[in-house]
Amino acid sequence: MNLYLLAIIIYAIIMIGIGFVATKYVKAAADFFVAGRKLGIGLLFATMIAPNIGAGSTVGVAGVGYKFGLSAWWWIGASAIGSFILAFVVGPVIWRIACRENLFTLGDYLDYRYNKAFRGLISLLMAVGTLAIFAGQLMGIAWILTAVAGTSKVTGILLGALVVVLYFGAGGLLSAALVNIIQICVKFVGFGLAVPFALSYVGGWAGLNQMVAQNLASDTSTAAYFSLDGMGFTMIVGYFLMLTPSFFISPGLIGKVYGARDERTVIIGTGLNAVVQFMFAIVPVLLGMCAFAAFPNLSDRELAMPLVLKEFLPFWASAIALAAIFSAEVSAADAVLYMITTSFTKDLYKTFLRPDISDAALLKMSRLVSAAAGIIGILIAIMLPNIITALSIFYSLMSVSLTAPLLFGLFSKRPTAKAAFASAIFGILTTVILQFGNQGKGFWLFNAQSTGIVVAIFVMLLMMYAFPAKNAA
């Protein structure tokens, strides 16, 4: 057996084992969904940063860096800004409400703030959207195994799904948080080794400049490749409008905020996550650029990072680095599986089909949904063309439908359920029409998704002041 594949299998078994150890502490639905609201700063930080360094911010961003160069930094940079907003603005407020009202999911909050119908609409959208991003994480795992072990895409997807479903399904948020600690340690060591080895391979920063210049057509294009605005202002703005809101309104991240033991933990744990995102943002970009310098004609740019880790590093360092990237994909996948499970079980099944379901039955149903989501995610992953496509589907649905209702609902009494519905529906319709009728182009400098967000915010403001809630101050 390929030694890289063997190392990853051993590591996968360790993660599954930790997940099953956590089962003895998971006795009720509250333990599964919000870890009993006992997460301290360390556990909250680990379970926040682990999924945020996932398929999009490793394999995907390295692919963007391979094509555009240094300006790919904005993908994770925009995400980090969203995490800061979650830490200092959204998180503390929604945590206090969750504790007071015993909320387990973002859907619980939407029901509390608006009504059950709006909760149902958003939960259905989230269930579909999160299946797409779950498929994206499985694809990231598959690309890694393809590059280092020669396995097929389908084999990699199946292995990734098996690992995630087993350890998350065993203990929910608690088992994910414990596994995330191991994953974070592996990531920091692995990527910490990868960057200096990769830069050394291409002759340092000067060598990287020289090799990139040889691969590009002109001095102008080389300058753009090493510029923070090389991909163009329109694309950068699009990243901010698509990604920044996603990191403070994500149902998965807000669910983890609910699990914090106190408000101070929310601020510090989530804030540390944002700081690390900012620091990490350059890592996959540099690896993608080094891959372009050495291999300018890759057939699939998303193979850039796994190829660098395999070819540029000695075996011992390569094995650790590949474990790090495997951790990145798996940890992001468990966060998404958490969102899928909560959307289907708590927000849809319990709310609309079985409101009288017992706590034990809800816990059992959550594990069954995790398994079913794994199967569906496998099918979607096989059909979708690349990771960024999968992530974009999710971020578009989530950002367009949730940004305005969540933000304005938290900080103002004016928005009504009708305003929330109008905002979400107009935003989604705008996005869909522009995506399919205007080749994804939006108004002015925006793309379809970011235009949808702007429209949703405008509609919310219009409804807030034209038809405010009766109890608005």
| Model confidence pLDDT, tens digit, residues 192-217 | 899 999 999 999 999 999 999 999 97
Question: What pLDDT was estimated at residue 38?
Answer: 86
Residue by residue, DSSP assigns 88-129 as: IIIHHHHHHHHHHHT--SHHHHHHHHT-HHHHHHHHHHHHHH
Task: Look up residue 370 and give its two tokens.
Answer: 């995790």
Question: What pLDDT was estimated at residue 261?
Answer: 94
Task: Report phi then psi at 447, rounded to 5.
Answer: -95, -175
Of all residues in the chain, what percent carry a pLDDT higher than 90?
A: 36
Query: Does residue 384 surpass a pLDDT of 70?
Result: no
- Among 180-184, 353-357, 371-375, which stretch is predicted with the lowest mean pLDDT? 180-184
Of all residues in the chain, what percent carry a pLDDT higher than 70?
A: 95
Task: Look up residue 454 and give its two tokens.
Answer: 């702007």
Distance between CA atoms of 318 and 149, rounded to whole angstroms? 13
Task: Provide the pLDDT confidence category of residue 54 given band limits of 50, 70 and 90.
Answer: confident
Distance between CA atoms of 44 and 268, rounded to whole angstroms? 9
Question: What pLDDT was estimated at residue 1?
Answer: 52
- Taking all residues of the chain, what is their mean pLDDT, rounded to a whole number? 86
Segments of the chain assigned to CATH 1.20.1730.10: 3-396
Distance between CA atoms of 66 and 416, rounded to whole angstroms? 46
Q: Which fold has domain 3-396?
A: Sodium/glucose cotransporter (1.20.1730)
- Among 51-60, 103-112, 368-377, which stretch is predicted with the lowest mean pLDDT? 51-60
Task: Name the 3-class secondary structure at 72.
Answer: helix
Taking only the tens place, the pLDDT of each residue in 222-235 is 999 999 999 988 78
In 22-60, where does DSSP find H-type helix? 29-34, 41-52
Closest CA to 290 of 314, 320, 313, 322: 313
Query: Does residue 129 surpass a pLDDT of 80?
Result: no
Mean pLDDT throughout 8-36? 78
Query: Does residue 387 surpass a pLDDT of 60?
Result: no
What are residue 260's DSSP bridge partners?
A: 39
Q: How far is CA 272 from CA 122, 158, 308, 331, in A?
A: 29, 33, 28, 18
Task: Provide the pLDDT confidence category of residue 391 given band limits of 50, 70 and 90.
Answer: low
Closest CA to 390 of 165, 141, 137: 137
Question: What pLDDT was estimated at residue 301?
Answer: 84
Mean pLDDT throughout 408-417? 94
Query: Does residue 386 surpass a pLDDT of 60?
Result: no
Question: What pLDDT was estimated at residue 294?
Answer: 93
Higher pLDDT, 430 or 125: 430
Query: Does residue 60 surpass a pLDDT of 70?
Result: yes
Task: Provide the pLDDT confidence category of residue 392 given band limits of 50, 70 and 90.
Answer: low
Query: Does residue 33 surpass a pLDDT of 80?
Result: no
Query: Does residue 346 surpass a pLDDT of 80?
Result: yes
Is residue 156 a contact partner of residue 170, using CB atoms and an 8 Å limit?
no
Task: Provide the pLDDT confidence category of residue 419 given band limits of 50, 70 and 90.
Answer: very high
Taking only the tens place, the pLDDT of each residue in 140-173 is 778 777 766 777 888 888 888 888 888 887 777 7
Task: Name the 3-class secondary structure at 367.
Answer: helix
Q: How many residues does the chain have?
A: 473
pTM (2 decimals)?
A: 0.84
Distance between CA atoms of 203 and 207, rounded to whole angstroms? 4
Residue 353 CB neighbours (<10 A): 8
Higher pLDDT, 34 or 309: 309
Mean pLDDT throughout 271-277? 96
* Segment holding 308, helix H or strand E: helix 304-311
The one-letter amino acid at 232:
G
Query: Does residue 388 surpass a pLDDT of 60?
Result: no
Helices 3-21 and 116-149, axial angle in degrees (round to 10): 150
Task: Provide the pLDDT confidence category of residue 271 given band limits of 50, 70 and 90.
Answer: very high
Distance between CA atoms of 235 and 380, rounded to whole angstroms? 27
Question: What pLDDT was estimated at residue 100?
Answer: 94
Is residue 132 a contact partner of residue 384, using CB atoms and an 8 Å limit?
yes
The one-letter amino acid at 328:
A
Is residue 425 a contact partner of residue 122, using CB atoms and an 8 Å limit?
no
Distance between CA atoms of 353 and 292, rounded to whole angstroms? 52
* DSSP state at residue 260: B
Is residue 191 a contact partner of residue 280, using CB atoms and an 8 Å limit?
yes
Mean pLDDT throughout 399-419? 93
Distance between CA atoms of 368 and 353, rounded to whole angstroms? 16
Question: What pLDDT was estimated at residue 85?
Answer: 96
Query: Does residue 459 surpass a pLDDT of 80?
Result: yes
* DSSP state at residue 441: B
Question: What pLDDT was estimated at residue 201?
Answer: 93
Mean pLDDT throughout 347-360? 87
Question: What pLDDT was estimated at residue 470?
Answer: 85
Residue 389 CB neighbours (<10 A): 14
Distance between CA atoms of 283 and 58, rounded to whole angstroms? 8
Residue 4 CB neighbours (<10 A): 23
Taking only the tens place, the pLDDT of each residue in 236-267 is 887 887 789 889 988 889 989 999 999 999 99
Mean pLDDT throughout 416-437? 90
Mean pLDDT throughout 33-49? 87
Query: Does residue 122 surpass a pLDDT of 90?
Result: no
